[in-house]
Amino acid sequence: MIAFNQPLSNLKPWVRSLPQGLLDLEIQNICFDSRDVSHGDAFFVLPSVAANEWLYVEQAIQNGVAVIVANESLRSELEGLTTAYICVDNIMNVAGDVLAHCLYQSQLNMDVIGITGTNGKSSISFYLAQLLTELKRNCAVMGTVGYGQWDDLKPSGMTTLPLEKLHHVLDELSENYQAVAMEVSSHGLEQNRLAGVKFDGAVFSNLSRDHLDYHGTMDAYGEAKALLFKRPELKFAVLNADDSFSEKLAAHCAVKPVFYGQADQADLRFEIHKMHAQGMSVEFTWQQQAQLVNLPLFGLFNVENVAAAILVCLQLGYGLEQTASACAAIAPVPGRMQQVMVQAQQPLVLVDYAHTPDALEQILAATRAHTQGCITLVVGCGGDRDQGKRPLMGKIALQYADKTLITSDNPRSEEPSLICQQMVEGLKGEFEIELDRAQAIQKAIMGANADDIVIIAGKGHEDYQEIKGQRRYFSDAEEAKKALLGNQA
């Protein structure tokens, strides 16, 4: 809800036409939730995934709404009402523009960088926020882990917030930050939850199988991602030269894109010089300049994520040398290859959010390059989601890990045992099914040697498990620490 206290005629910039009799109607507030409506308010009827918009209209009328603003698709139902109404072609676009204007139109100095892709969104946003903040341009994060300062986030509960909440958060952030690195989900793009947001730049990480329970096909999934790059206000677009979808995406960009990666055509190229137990040394090359950077990170995919963040900084006017120097401030992202340590001479334990086949394969391949010992993997799959990726996850687990414990993730309404069986059905290899996730983590760590690596995949930063419709507190990192404490020599 936003305070309006203006004649309805002031909606003219966003509503093509207003009924003559409503022009002078005084509106107290503009509401996007029917429960917030009071006498004298305008109610914007936003689309509902459950398609129950009419229930919201009825509630708003009961609460004394002064005028209803809705999509043209509701006109026939609205015509039978005595309540005043306005129909528009795209209610989300109108609502987004109204929110932006009323909340933070005067704030024009905050760069908004949208980051999309199957994997890497959170990492790129965190690395970008750290780099820009080190470069004296305070940058907030907004996405899966939360929003605000990268090391002190407020939980959000979802990657892309609902339209009204998203704009209120942008308004809040604009008071203290000069930039925001915003994760942008395919759901948010397709549902137009980013309406009214003016993006300065857009970043693409990669495209692999995920969310097919929602999008149906990979083509549809890719088309949803492409919506970010079609936005006419973009000043720059940053694409991954090593991902095959980038070529198709480049054709949709509203601006000429720039590329990062190992490919020859990349504008910002990188070469990994050395991988070691503490991270990697990487050389970045841009416009015939080269800088060697030491990163406290693991894996090729993390170099890609850092490269994306560096290229954004270059597009914002910073030089390669000063941006490379800022890389000294980079710290790992919570729940993204997060190290859990108690004391020396214990196995290295990594907690990671990898919950797609591609992400799981990447972290397993990456850790192999950092260890001479064995890799033990703890992994599961979420319930009520794309079932087709379960056998793919199982196959990758058994192919890359030396030992695998298949366990519960967020089973939601499904039986955990059935999910686990679907992951390994017909597969051969060294694995054990342990439905109790805490027990699986303990077994993995207790059975590992000091030169081994234990990877706990799938939940990362999440601090809950959802079972039979109920959430209970659960942290992979905390359970790993308990196991390490119990495994002290």
| Structural domain boundaries in the chain | 2-101, 107-329, 338-486
Q: What is the mean pLDDT of residues 221-232?
A: 93
| pLDDT for residue 299 | 81
Q: Give the model's confidence band at 489: pLDDT under 50 very low, under 70 low, under 90 confident, else very high.
A: very low
Q: Look-up: residue for tokens 């391949």?
A: 365
Domain 2-101 and domain 107-329 have a common topology: no
- Please state, for a pLDDT cut of 70, what percent of the chain lies above it: 97
| pLDDT for residue 218 | 77
* Class of CATH domain 2-101: alpha beta
**Of residues 344 and 310, more confidently modeled:** 310
Contact between 80 and 148 (Cβ < 8 Å): no
Q: Which CATH superfamily is domain 107-329 in?
A: Mur-like, catalytic domain (3.40.1190.10)
Looking at the predicted structure, is the pLDDT value of residue 4 above 80?
yes
Q: What is the mean pLDDT of residues 93-108?
A: 82
Average pLDDT over the chain, rounded to whole? 91
For the domain 338-486, what is the CATH code?
A: 3.90.190.20
